[in-house]
Chains A and B, each alone.
Chain A
Amino acid sequence: MLFCLKGRKMKVENIGSKRLTLKLIIYIFTLSVFFTLIQSGVGLKKEYDDKIKRIDNSINIIEKNFLNKLAQTFWAMDELGLKIELNSLLGLPGVDYVEILEKNKTLLKMGKKYKHGIKNKYFDLKYKNVESEALLGKLYVQLSYFRIKKEVIHDILYVIVEEFIKYFVLTLVLLFVVQKLIMRHLVDMAEFVRGFQVENLDTPLILDKKINKNRPDVLDEVSLAINQMRKKLMIFIDQKNETQKEIQNLNKTLELKVELRTQLLTEKTDTVKDLLNNAAQGFLSFDKDFLIDGEYSVECEKLLGKDLRGKDISLLLFNKNEKKIDFFKETMMDALNEKNELTSSLMLSLLPTELIINKRAIVINYKILSNNNFMLILTNVTDKKKLQTKIKKEQNTLKMIISIIGDSLQFYETNESFKQFCKDSVLYINPTHSSDENANTLHALLHTFKGLFAQLYMINTTKRIHDIESKIIEFTENNEANITLKNLIESLELENSMDEDLKIIAQTLGENFLTEHNYIKIDEELINKLEGKILAFCSLSLEQKEECDNILYDIKKIKNKSLKYYLSIYPKLSHQLCLSLNKSIHPFEISGQNNIFVSAKFKPFINSLIHVFRNSCDHGIETKEVRNSLGKNGVGTIGCEFKLLDDNLYIDIYDDGKGIELNSLKSKIIQNNLSTQEELNSLSKDEIISFIFDSNLSTQESISHLSGRGVGLSCVKSELEKLNGSVSVETQLNKGTKFSFVMPFDE
């Protein structure tokens, strides 16, 4: 650093100071020469004038001092004396040549005679005494100015040289002084300032001189000022550095924050992505070109295929159905361009919400994003649909079973007539009628059957017949011959229409149920008449009473069925019900005597018991999870017992389910305005429970498909009352419920 500074110093000196020195020399020298010239000029002029005066004075001196003496000496003819006198004359300033003339003849001469620059002076040499005066001769004096001029010029040169040397030396001294006192310091300062750098700001400017602090000179002040400036700069730089540091720190903090935020955001995005990918829903977006964006959730690929980026969504959704594609695109764009949010959402609601794509049922939600892109949310509802279909099927089955049990006669009769119709179907084709007329007849008959089956909720049969109807209608449009109609009818295999439903019935109620109907078909009135006749006959011949009783028993068997038989459908039904509710119960059988026959008047009541079983399955038995959590066996129990005692028939139906919640029942009673809190408080538990038979009460929060609106138990009660029977309910929370029916029974 030092070296560097020195090097620079040298350089600066070389250039800057030289230039300044040169200027100084020129100024000082010019000035000194000017002054020298004036001074020496003036001096020389004075000297010259002096010398001229002295020469002039020499004439006066000659006139005053020498003329008389010379005249006397001349008078005395003293040659030696004259020579001495003349010699002394030559000693006078300016006198170069003297001559004594006697009548224009040179008598005596001394000195050197010049031709130029001279002044000639003639003096009369007169001898004087008291009385006379005599002219002896003349004195010729040559005064030479030439010598004076020469002297003056010599003087001038001398003076010039002297003055020049004097001023030159003075200049040098001055230069040295200036250099010593000012220049080098200035150069130092210049160098120092020039070398100002952030790194060496702490190096103060120190001049090569002592600083008098009490009486500082200009340089001191300048150097002090520079140092002050330096200090200020240092402080400023320090502050700046501080600020910079602060800013850097802030920046760092900010960077950290940004990083953290970015991380959080990334995490969030990842989480959202994760969520979306695991949502079992497809999320995708696309722009006005209907081309799918790169970002979509995993589920989309499952539903719509791989590599969806850039694919046309409308083609994926609607395959190649141009009409649907057009409507989709138009409506999307209309909704996008619609400013009114409500109208826009209504337009989107016109788009299909459920589509079958790749054999999957997909529910679609349409959204317009804030960036004017579209978003679709795809939900795979295939399983749900399947389950719904299954439940629907299950429901339909149960509806069918219940209606068939409730009106088995209708079932048997419809079944029988339809079978007959199937057998005879071809016979309805009357060759004398047109094929159209025949087809219409068949259609009308089929339509009637369809209605009958629909009443029995035999959905599959109804559907089959509906399809057959359509085919017959189609036939009438083609104007074909009767024989074609016959072929058609035969090909339709009408007799198979019921197969599916019959299979379900057989599975649920047992094969017997389908074959038993033969007994029922016997006209009951006829049997009654027969029975009357036998009774009348038996009363006539007492000896054949035993025989008669046997016949009567058989007739009763034909007319009345065993109670066990009637009730036997319920175990299977209960099992089925529980299955459809995702619950399970132990298989059970009706326990009771086989030989108790009930007349037709018991049928409505027995049929109504389905509501009790249904109630047990639906509200009584809990799901496996609930049962396990209560420490109960996961599989529930439902049972049914009956017995005959003292002309009374007892039927008990029980379950080990959750029992009837009294408080919930009470609030339900109040909610349905069946009673008030005060009234209920005064009632016994049994009395409160008896409200479950009220047709205006439903204890279940949601109306389940099985128990409907809770009119079931009221139906049981009303049927029971027709038989003059009564019911009691025992229930214990989480232990179970038992319905005990008792009614008079007259064999």
Chain B
Amino acid sequence: MTGPHPSWPEPRLTLQSQLEDLTLVWPWVEALAARYSVPAETQFAIQLCLEEALSNVIRHGYRGQANQSITVECAPSGVAELVFTVEDHAPPFDPVAAAPAATPASIQELEPGGQGIRLMRKFASRLTWQPLPHGNRLILAFALPPPAIS
């Protein structure tokens, strides 16, 4: 750990394109939540959206291709938001414009997965996609409650 405080988490996490690497996200977000006094419900939303965004990149963006990198960067935006920026080198895919999977009409039609875009739209305060010359940038913002008056 480097930075102004010995226990502060790194602002950037780099993953390889394998689902096992998603296990690195939980402790990182937990440390960030402690660092920025993120409420439990917001931490839940962050974990949910990052798991969703990252697993989509690994499974669909990189199509299971190993040894590709994904970076996630966390930065506070003013005092009101915590912003996560996910960057990959996969073919362009805009999850913000994509139509979410249809709501299934019966258990038999329920596809495991497919609800990810709907979940991200619901649980992130703001979702922005930007094409990169050789990849994608997905920005997920989460509103934070105003700081307590000290």
Same complex origin of A and B? no
Residues of chain B whose beta carbon lies under 8 Å from any beta carbon of chain A:
none
Residues of chain A whose beta carbon lies under 8 Å from any beta carbon of chain B:
none
